[in-house]
């Protein structure tokens, strides 16, 4: 099978915060990969902008270094790298001042699609939106891409939405969540809505429960200051896990278009029951012999911010009433592994008798480190010896069947940036979705103050024991955290 590269119109991608970590680690390497794939047509350009005084040759060197450090195998393609760098320039620009704005206005190609990637802190979004408008760059060929965090509560998210809405139409705003750009997340929708097999079973009659795990093995690293003001609930649950949750639980949209999909996701959030305190467990990682504890790492010995959260959510609608969703995320856990597991109910009666043991179908959508969709099915163990049943994985990503071109599939940032250029908002969050997610999360976070502080857990574990109890008390168990 040969992967297809869909051409896009020439575009300008302006990275405001072009010298920052995100630009260097993700955005620039992603653009280079799309360039190598032939998707950055003649007349396209990349403009880096930030306050640091630098000329274009120095910025090109920085871009080249970033690609060397963070790029994939294509970084060895020196001929393409040279051509790519020729499309890159730099403008010294202050989001809060006047420096650089006129030059930016003169540098962008007015006939191109112009995507302004706000790769800066959210405190600058309003300043940027205002100046893009003032300097005549907010017309309908212009799009803005905004990174997380989109607010830290409902009030701040509303404020951000209002600030952006002053100068941009919702159709121009791309709130990015890179989890939605993963190949497997889209494949999940293809599996659900492209096959007759799954959708009839996708409800509380057949699904016992659903688990979503986003586990990281690293701690807060150098982000301690930021993280301690945020915590796992704000940093991961409110956005990434909620987005995955919506996709797995939503009704089939009438069409695969942005608003049809986003309308259905919004309905899921609105149907969520408020979370009872007994349905949430928070934790903080402890020190090891070689690694500091959470509190030490964030420099706050009294911190009550959680580096782990597990919760049980219920959706009150016809499809899901009675099927719990267990969500957990945390740092310094056993492994870096993210997955969604749809655990189907037991067969109503085992014709093979009690000796055959308990067998359940589990559909696992693996998101990282490797992507894939696996259906656990029960079969007879081959060979003599009677009717012994075993569970085997049916790999539904068919990596081998699809061939080595798989490796060339775009990563999440590549896909999402190209979607911005094409004007496809399906995989981006709409303003009302973000607000609804905060509206559900806010009371949960507000109640933390009245609850016990987060429970300690060992580095390399699956979180506090109480998180295991959260699911055990329902007669269920978390899946092992395994890459």
Strand extents, DSSP E, 295-430? 308-313, 325-330, 337-344, 362-368, 372-380, 389-395
- Which one, 19 or 425, has the nearer CB to ligand NAP? 19
Could you please report the per-residue DSSP string of 383-401? Answer: SSSS--EEEEEEESS-HHH
Q: Which residue has the tokens 């009717």?
A: 387
Q: What residues contact 194, with CB distance under 8 A and at least 6 apart? A: none
Residue 425: both structure tokens together: 């908002």
Q: For residue 119, give the nearest of 142, 136, 135, 95 by alpha carbon.
A: 95
Q: Can you tell me the distance from the alpha carbon of 107 to that of 120, in angstroms, rounded to the nearest whole number?
A: 21
411 binds ligand NAP (CB under 6 A): no
154-189 residues labelled b (16+ CB within 10 A) or e (exposed): beebbebbebbeebbeeebbbbbbbbbbbbbbbbbb
95 binds ligand NAP (CB under 6 A): yes
- Which one, 17 or 151, has the nearer CB to ligand NAP? 17
Catalytic residue (choose from 240, 349, 359, 472): 240
120 binds ligand NAP (CB under 6 A): yes
Q: Can you tell me the distance from the alpha carbon of 169 to that of 159, in angstroms, rounded to the nearest whole number?
A: 15
Q: Can you tell me the distance from the alpha carbon of 56 to that of 46, in angstroms, rounded to the nearest whole number?
A: 11
Strand partners, 365: 340, 373
17 binds ligand NAP (CB under 6 A): yes
End-to-end CA distance of the chain: 27
- Which one, 137 or 362, has the nearer CB to ligand NAP? 137
Q: Which stretch binds ligand NAP (CB under 6 A): 11-19, 137-145, 204-212, 228-236?
A: 11-19
**One symbol per residue from 129 to 148: x for binding ligand NAP (CB under 6 A), - otherwise; what is it?**
------------------xx
Which one among 50, 137, 188, 427 touches ligand NAP, defined by CB under 6 A?
50
434 binds ligand NAP (CB under 6 A): no
273 binds ligand NAP (CB under 6 A): no
69 binds ligand NAP (CB under 6 A): no
408 binds ligand NAP (CB under 6 A): no
- Which one, 13 or 93, has the nearer CB to ligand NAP? 93
209 is catalytic: no
Host H or E run for residue 104: helix 101-107
- Which one, 18 or 253, has the nearer CB to ligand NAP? 18
37 binds ligand NAP (CB under 6 A): no
Q: Which residue has the tokens 């650089």?
A: 100
Q: Can you tell me the distance from the alpha carbon of 197 to that of 199, in angstroms, rounded to the nearest whole number?
A: 6
Q: Any idea what DSSP says for residue 141? A: T
21 binds ligand NAP (CB under 6 A): yes
Host H or E run for residue 166: helix 154-167
39 binds ligand NAP (CB under 6 A): no
124 binds ligand NAP (CB under 6 A): yes
Residue 226: both structure tokens together: 């930021």
346 binds ligand NAP (CB under 6 A): no
**Per rule CB under 6 A, count of chain residues that contact ligand NAP:** 24
- Which one, 219 or 324, has the nearer CB to ligand NAP? 219
Q: Can you tell me the distance from the alpha carbon of 255 to that of 367, in angstroms, rounded to the nearest whole number?
A: 25
CB of 424 to ligand NAP, least distance (A): 21
238 binds ligand NAP (CB under 6 A): no
**One symbol per residue from 146 to 185: x for binding ligand NAP (CB under 6 A), - otherwise; what is it?**
-xxx------------------------------------
51 binds ligand NAP (CB under 6 A): yes
CB of 176 to ligand NAP, least distance (A): 8
Q: Which residue has the tokens 């969604």?
A: 340
Number of CB atoms found within 10 A of residue 394's CB: 12
**Angle, in degrees to the nearest 10, between helices 183-194 and 242-249:** 20
204 binds ligand NAP (CB under 6 A): no
20 binds ligand NAP (CB under 6 A): yes
225 binds ligand NAP (CB under 6 A): no
Residues 393, 396, 400, 404: what is their CA dihedral angle, to the nearest 10 degrees? Answer: -140
- Which one, 13 or 50, has the nearer CB to ligand NAP? 50
19 binds ligand NAP (CB under 6 A): yes
Which one among 14, 62, 93, 129 touches ligand NAP, defined by CB under 6 A?
93
- Which one, 33 or 131, has the nearer CB to ligand NAP? 131
**Of all residues in this chain, which one has the CB nearest to ligand NAP in the complex?**
20
Strand extents, DSSP E, 101-185? 113-118, 142-146, 173-175
99 binds ligand NAP (CB under 6 A): no
Q: Which residue has the tokens 């003599």?
A: 384
96 binds ligand NAP (CB under 6 A): yes
Q: Can you tell me the distance from the alpha carbon of 447 to that of 258, in angstroms, rounded to the nearest whole number?
A: 34
Could you please report the per-residue DSSP string of 258-282? Answer: HHHHHHHHHHHHHTBPPPPGGGEEE
CB of 355 to ligand NAP, least distance (A): 51
- Which one, 107 or 317, has the nearer CB to ligand NAP? 107
Q: Which stretch binds ligand NAP (CB under 6 A): 46-54, 101-109, 364-372, 395-403?
A: 46-54
Q: Which residues are annotated as catalytic?
A: 240
Per CB under 6 A, residues contacting ligand NAP are: 16-23, 25, 50-52, 93-96, 119-122, 124, 147-149
């Amino acid at each position: 099978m040969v992967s297809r590269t869909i051409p896009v119109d020439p575009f300008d991608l302006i990275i405001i915060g072009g010298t920052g970590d995100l630009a260097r680690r993700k955005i620039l390497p992603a653009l280079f990969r799309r360039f190598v794939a032939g998707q950055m047509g003649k007349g396209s350009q990349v403009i880096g902008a930030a306050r640091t005084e630098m000329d274009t040759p120095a910025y090109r060197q920085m871009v080249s270094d970033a690609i060397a450090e963070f790029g994939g195998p294509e970084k060895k393609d020196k001929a393409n790298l040279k051509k790519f760098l020729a499309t890159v320039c730099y403008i010294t620009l202050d989001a809060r001042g006047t420096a650089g704005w006129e030059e930016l206005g003169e540098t962008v190609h007015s006939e191109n699609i112009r995507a302004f990637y706000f790769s800066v802190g959210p405190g600058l979004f309003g300043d940027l939106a205002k100046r893009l408008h003032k300097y005549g760059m907010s017309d309908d060929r212009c799009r803005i891409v905004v990174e997380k965090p989109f607010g830290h509560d409902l009030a701040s998210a509303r404020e951000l939405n209002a600030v952006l809405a002053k100068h941009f139409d919702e159709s121009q705003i791309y709130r990015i969540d890179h989890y939605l750009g993963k190949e497997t997340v889209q494949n999940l929708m293809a599996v659900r809505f492209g096959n007759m097999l799954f959708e009839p079973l996708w409800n509380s009659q057949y699904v016992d429960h659903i688990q979503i795990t986003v586990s990281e093995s690293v701690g807060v690293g150098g982000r301690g200051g930021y993280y301690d003001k945020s915590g796992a609930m704000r940093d991961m649950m409110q956005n990434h896990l909620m987005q995955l949750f919506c996709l797995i639980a939503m009704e089939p949209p009438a069409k695969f278009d942005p608003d049809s999909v986003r309308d259905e996701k919004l309905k899921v959030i609105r149907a969520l029951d408020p979370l009872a305190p007994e349905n949430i467990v928070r934790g903080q990682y402890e020190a090891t012999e070689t690694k500091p504890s959470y509190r030490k790492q964030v420099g706050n010995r009294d911190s009550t911010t959680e580096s782990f959260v597990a919760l049980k959510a219920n959706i009150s609608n016809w499809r899901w009433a009675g099927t719990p969703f267990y969500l957990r995320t945390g740092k310094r856990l056993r492994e870096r592994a993210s997955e969604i597991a749809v655990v189907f109910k037991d067969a109503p009666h085992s014709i093979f008798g009690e000796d055959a043991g308990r067998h359940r179908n589990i559909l696992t959508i693996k998101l990282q480190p490797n992507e894939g969709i696996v259906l656990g099915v029960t079969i007879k163990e081959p060979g003599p010896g009677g009717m012994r049943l075993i569970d085997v994985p049916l790999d539904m990503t068919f990596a081998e069947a699809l061939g080595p071109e798989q490796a060339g599939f775009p990563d999440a940032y590549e896909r999402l940036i190209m979607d911005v250029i094409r004007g496809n908002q399906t995989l981006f969050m709409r303003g009302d979705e973000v607000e609804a997610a905060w509206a559900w999360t806010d009371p949960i976070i507000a109640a933390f103050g009245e609850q016990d502080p987060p429970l300690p857990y060992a580095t390399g574990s699956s979180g506090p024991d109480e998180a295991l109890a959260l699911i055990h008390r329902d007669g269920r168990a978390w899946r092992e955290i395994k890459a």
